[in-house]
Amino acid sequence: MPGFEEVNYYFRKAARVMDLSARVEKMLVTPFREVKVDVSITLDNGELGTFIGYRVQHDKSRGPMKGGLRYHPTVDMDEALGLASLMTWKTAVVNLPYGGAKGGIAVDPSTLSAREVERLTRRFVQQIHDIIGPHTDIPAPDVNTNAQVMAWIMDEYSKLHGFSPAVVTGKPVDLFGSRGREEATGRGVVAALEEYLKDAGAGEIRGKTFAVQGFGNVGSWAARFLHERGARVVAVGDARGAIRNPEGLDIPRLGEHVQKTKSVVGFPGSDAITNEELLVSNVDVLVPAALGGVITEANAKEIRARVVLEAANAPTTPRADEILGERGVAVLPDIFVNAGGVTVSYFEWVQNIQQFRWEEEQIGAELQRHMREAYATLARVVRERKVSFRTAAFIVAIGRVGRATVLRGV
């Protein structure tokens, strides 16, 4: 996963193009708050389970801080710092009135029962409730967390602060969540690609070939929307392995297979391949949609796709990004491509604040508008500054955050 310095590499690259002063640069990269807490619970067998929880709040100049909570063994302070700063730049790229935050618990939730995960979640909220809130810091689902976990967070926080549905987003629809939230990131990924193809004069999605690495929430929805638009998704992978069919995989049937078996592996009518082979598939578009750091210096020269659509957070290392740029591969960056999730999270928060529910058609139309306007801004900066899409995204984000910071006063 991306560390803080890895994200700051891209920040500094854009800062140099902008001729940002060292003082402003230091101010913008320095996190507002870093929190590390002990999260101890009684396990089902009566033993004590001790875990470490993290919450990094990076920047609040443009509004309440926003970002996911993940339950994964790799969660640590450096990862939380990197991801929190990415959220600052992501919310700014799509012009949402938010800052950035991120966090989670260093735990493998597959080793815990549902009751243990609930106890862990509620204990974590007890440890951080005084630094989160509807107008302070609004968590959301991330790796290994879901609508149920968000419901527990909302409930525990509300016990301490009164009824507060807006404290988290990504809640179940029956508990003040938003329609369209589950598929929002995948829908935004496809919207980002459509805008790029239109702008590049590269036609439409129909008939193009795709490899999707990761078949969780983001990858599965992205693959489904691509399939519906006539794309040929020829390779899909998950943590257990990958599959390929040059004629194109039947994505709806694959979804049913994954529901039954919990993996894409063994899908009838496909050949087994490794995730490493998937990444270098001979396709038009590669969609990394799993964890970060999968496109590296070691495999960047072998990538055959002409477009890399970053559905995951930080799937490309800085050196790999340089190699892809030198080879003329268009990399559409994570802080734009996967911003559909936080955009619809914003819509959910707005509905909670207003206590008024939007129709799904309105949510879909507003998401398309945000992605379209964000792409238009990025494309203009790419042309004017003659930079990559990633550098353009950071230039736009730094400009917005920097102006808000200066206007508010230091």
Q: Which residues are catalytic?
A: 102
In a 3-state reduction of DSSP, which class is residue 27? helix
What secondary structure letter does DSSP report for 70? E
> Of 95, 188, 142, 139, nearest to 393 (Cα)?
95
The stretches of 162-281 forming alpha helices (DSSP H) are 184-200, 217-228, 251-261, 275-279
> Of 197, 187, 195, nearest to 373 (Cα)?
195
- DSSP code string of 51-65: EEEEEEEEE-TTSSE
The span from the CA of 317 to the CA of 12, in Å, is 15
Give the helix/strand (H/E) hosting 347.
Answer: helix 340-354
Q: What is the largest CA-CA distance in the chain?
A: 63
> Of 348, 410, 384, nearest to 170 (Cα)?
348
Q: Residue count of the chain, please give it.
A: 410
Q: In sequence order, what are the beta bridge partners of 36?
A: 54
Q: Residue for token digits 């968590």?
A: 139
Joined together, the tokens standing for residue 60 give: 């609040």
The stretches of 162-236 forming alpha helices (DSSP H) are 184-200, 217-228
What backbone phi and psi angles, to 5 degrees, belong to 228? -65, -25
